Every structure is written in structure tokens, then in C-alpha cells.
Homo-oligomer: A and B are copies of this chain.
Amino acid sequence: MPVGTAGTVKAVHQRELKEDIRAQIILGNTYHLYLRPGLDTLHKAGGLHQFNGWDAPILTDSGGYQVFSLSGTRKIKEEGVTFRSHIDGSRHLFTPENTMDTQRIIGADIIMALDECTPYPCSYRYAETSLQLTHRWLERCINHFKATEPLYGYDQMLFPIVQGSTYKDLRKASAETIASFGQEGNAIGGLSVGEPAEEMYEMTEIVCEILPADKPRYLMGVGTPANILECISLGIDMFDCVMPTRNARNGMLFTRNGIINIRNEKWKNDFSPIDEESDLWADKHYSKAYLRHLVTSKEILGAQIASLHNLHFYLWLTGESRKRIIDGTFARWKDQMVKAVSARI
């Protein structure tokens, strides 16, 4: 899922998302949307789809993650979490109940439970206490979700989130609790927060063995192309990550042959297309030297082209994985690709 934090996938038109990148779903961040444009505007618009003109599925997180990563002084209580806006310092409270209401107003097709995303490293004691809170919040989310109706005439789904830091027994216990609610899909949070990749894979594997295989498993906030391939092999079906767009704006391109830092001098006079193997018009139309010029000159078009390229590549990578799972050639291809996409070229 391309990440559209504030209702826009940065530097990419909705038409490009649909026709060039062929995204089937995008993500919005409740924390950002709640602060700006705000719920009054989103409600009056008839929800985020109407507001931003994206008529395919949208998933929103609960806002919890950004409260922990972006806002100033925040305080976790049983009731919920109080925090200050990173924009104007104003005080706010997110609770399991009001984050359901907020996501009803935003009107995403898939909405997420409020959880606490533990930092890394995290003591066993903190992880265990936090996990119990996350599970109590989940019950309140589900109860409130069931007690309320969608606002715009189409159904919404609520995905719960497995936590438990890097502790196997906590992850197992959490996965069992989460699976027991029988929601339409299940998510794994609290990974890709600084732990070694091996620990992320280990936790993902343990959890995927417990979460039902016939419902989508969503690994939140992951990751590099190699991370995504490894986690697909462990049973993950959905991903979101800012990496393809954020790194694009700094000139990092992901390709099937490895990672390019387009700012490097070596591309200065390389007039070959950005990606010869890609079927994206921009990859064939623009050269590496031109993109390097745009990025080093801080031209907006540089961010546009690189974002388009990276998102198109991520969607190609996951689409190709799906095809190869179906035709039975995924495992070998995955091992080759993990090496290829991780190289620096």
C-alpha cells in the first residue's frame, strides 16, 4: 500500500497511482488527517475517498503509532493516550472508542484498532504490561465498532494488531488473542522499529503460524524490498511503508538490480533510461542523468519521478510475488531477488 499520510501519496497524482502504478489500495494516517484537514471537513466532504478523489480502497491506521513517534509530550492511561499536536502544540486524547469514531468519519474501507507500539529495545515487563493494555483496548475498539454504523453507505472492516515486542511467548499469546476475535484480517505491529531484521523475521514467522491463513495478514510499516520478499515467504499478504516515497525524495531508487543513489557522480552523464526493464513510461522517458540533475537541484520533478519509479517497483515486486506463488516458482526466485534488490549499484 502506497502511504498517503495526509490524504496524498507525496508527489504522486491520483491518476498516476491508478493508471501508472496500478495501486489497488492506499493508506492514510488518522493522526495526520484528524489534525489536518480535521474531522469536520472530512465529514462534510463525505469521507476521505470523496475528499481526495481516490475511489479505490483505503486503509487507515488508528493514529496510535504517530502519537508515539511524532507528537510531543504524550501520556498513556487506561482511558487512552493524551498528546500534543506536532503542528500547533494543541492537546488531544485518543481512546479506543474515539479512534473508531474518527475512522468512521474518515471512512476508510479497512480501519485499525488502537494499540501501543512498543519501542525497541523494550523490557519484558514493559512489553507484557503494554500488551495487556493493547488487548483491553482492542476489546473496547471492537465493542464500539460493533455499536456504531458506517457513515457513507459502504461497509468497513476492523483489523486488530498483534504486539509483544521481540518476545516469542508474548507474540504467541498476542497472536492467539488476536485470532480469537475472528476479524476479517489481522495485523502485526511493533516490528521494523529498530530491531535486527532476523528478529523481525522470527517474530513474523511465529505470529503467521497462529494467525489464520485464509484471512489477510498485514505487517505494518515494513519495509525494504528484501524485507517484503522475506515476509511474503513467511505468510504476509499486506504491507505499507513510507520507504519508497520518502527515500525517493532523497534520490534513492529501488530496482530489480539493486539500490541506486541517483545523487552519485557516476550517474552524471549516464543518459540511459532510469529503468530499462520497467514498463512505466517515466522509467523509459527520463534518463538517470536527468533525474540526478533534478534531485541534486532540489527540483520538485525529481521527487515526482523517483516516487513514481519506486512505487511502481514495489507494486511490481509484490505483484510478481503473487504470480510466482500461484505458479509455484516463488521460493527460488525470492532467494535470487533478495540478493539482487539488496545490492548497491
Contact = CB atoms under 8 A, between A and B. Distances in A.
Interface in A272-287: 281-282, 285-287
Contacts of A11: 300-301, 304
Nearest to A307: B300
Interface in A1-57: 6-15, 36-37, 40-41, 44-46, 50-53
Contact of A299 (B8, B44, B53, B268): B8
A64 to B, nearest CB: 21
A296 B125 CA distance: 43
A51 B289 contact: yes
A53 B281 CA distance: 12
A129 interface: no
Contact of A282 (B6, B13, B289): B13
B285 A53 contact: yes
A333 B27 CA distance: 47
A13 B304 contact: yes
A106 interface: no
A152 interface: no
B14 A297 contact: no
Given A36-B293, A301-B11, A268 B41 contact: yes
Nearest to A305: B13
A300 B304 contact: yes
A12 B16 CA distance: 13
Contacts of A285: 14-15, 53
A302 to B, nearest CB: 8
Interface of A: 6-15, 36-37, 40-41, 44-46, 50-53, 268-269, 271, 281-282, 285-287, 289-290, 293-294, 296-297, 299-301, 303-305
A36 B297 contact: yes
A293 B15 contact: no
A271 B285 CA distance: 35
Nearest to A20: B15
A85 to B, nearest CB: 13
A286 B50 CA distance: 9
Nearest to A40: B269
Nearest to A7: B293
Contact of A7 (B8, B51, B269, B290): B290
A299 B245 CA distance: 13
Given A11-B301, A13-B304, A294-B8, A286 B45 contact: no
A10 B290 contact: no
Contacts of A14: 285-286
Q: Which 4 A-B pairs have the closest CB atoms?
A: A11-B300, A8-B301, A37-B293, A53-B285
Contacts of A305: 13
A281 B6 contact: no
B300 A37 contact: no
Contacts of A8: 294, 299, 301
Nearest to A8: B301
Contacts of A301: 8-13
A41 B7 contact: no
